[in-house]
Every structure is written in structure tokens, then in C-alpha cells.
Amino acid sequence: EDQVTQSPEALRLQEGESSSLNCSYTVSGLRGLFWYRQDPGKGPEFLFTLYSAGEEKEKERLKATLTKKESFLHITAPKPEDSATYLCAVQASGTSYGKLTFGQGTILTVHP
């Protein structure tokens, strides 16, 4: 069974204090790993897709990286508007398009 574990469950940062979120996964074969952002009362919003170990993607203050067992979401000099829940999801090889398994998420709070 595919499993996704995210840590920490919650992270509090001061504005400008860089940090990383972790996503560990267990799948029979990785077709893709995805990061989403979810604001309170909203649906998840797609951020990145990573396909293979060593791949990196960047968007503003966020950078996602991938190894064979985990992915990191690095947040550089965060701002209060980066506060949200960050979700990691995987799609296993051999599964149908779009069938994702999500982790429980990391709740990020950035204080001004």
C-alpha cells in the first residue's frame, strides 16, 4: 500500500526564517510526487510535480527537491502570506492517471 508521511505536523517560523518540510513516501514505483498548498476553508492548490530523484522545481520562495525516498519543500525567507497547510501526494506506477495518495500535511505559520 502506498504511504506518504509528512513532518513536522506543524511548523512556526518568524518572517525571514528559512526552513524545510519533509515528505517521506513508500510506493511500489513512483510515477510522480506532487506538492499542494491549502489555505483554510479552501481546496488544495497545485504547486509542483517531481518525477525523478535529483529533480528540483522552484516557485518564488519555494523549492521542491526529490530523492528516492523523500521530498523536501524548502522555504526561503518566508513571509506571513506563506502560512498554509502544505500537502504532499504521490502517484504510483501502474495506477491510473490522477490517482493520488496524500500525506496528512504540514501546517506552516509564519509570524511577522
Partner 1 sequence: DAGVIQSPRHEVTEMGQEVTLRCKPISGHDYLFWYRQTMMRGLELLIYFNNNVPIDDSGMPEDRFSAKMPNASFSTLKIQPSEPRDSAVYFCASSLEGTPRGAGELFFGEGSRLTVL
Nearest distance, CB of residue 44 and partner 1, angstroms: 5
| Class of residue 80 by CB neighbours under 10 A (exposed 0-12, middle 13-18, buried 19+) | exposed
Nearest distance, CB of residue 99 and partner 1, angstroms: 6
Give 14 or 96: the residue with its C-beta nearer to partner 1.
Answer: 96
Give 50 or 78: the residue with its C-beta nearer to partner 1.
Answer: 50
Give 38 or 76: the residue with its C-beta nearer to partner 1.
Answer: 38
Task: Give the binding site for partner 1 (CB under 8 A).
Answer: 31-32, 34, 41-46, 49, 51, 87, 89, 91, 96-105
Cβ neighbours for 106, distance < 8 A, ≥ 6 positions apart = 6, 7, 8, 9, 10, 11, 21, 85, 86
Nearest distance, CB of residue 31 and partner 1, angstroms: 7
72 closest CA partner among 11, 2, 7: 7
CB contact at 8 A, 73 and 24: no
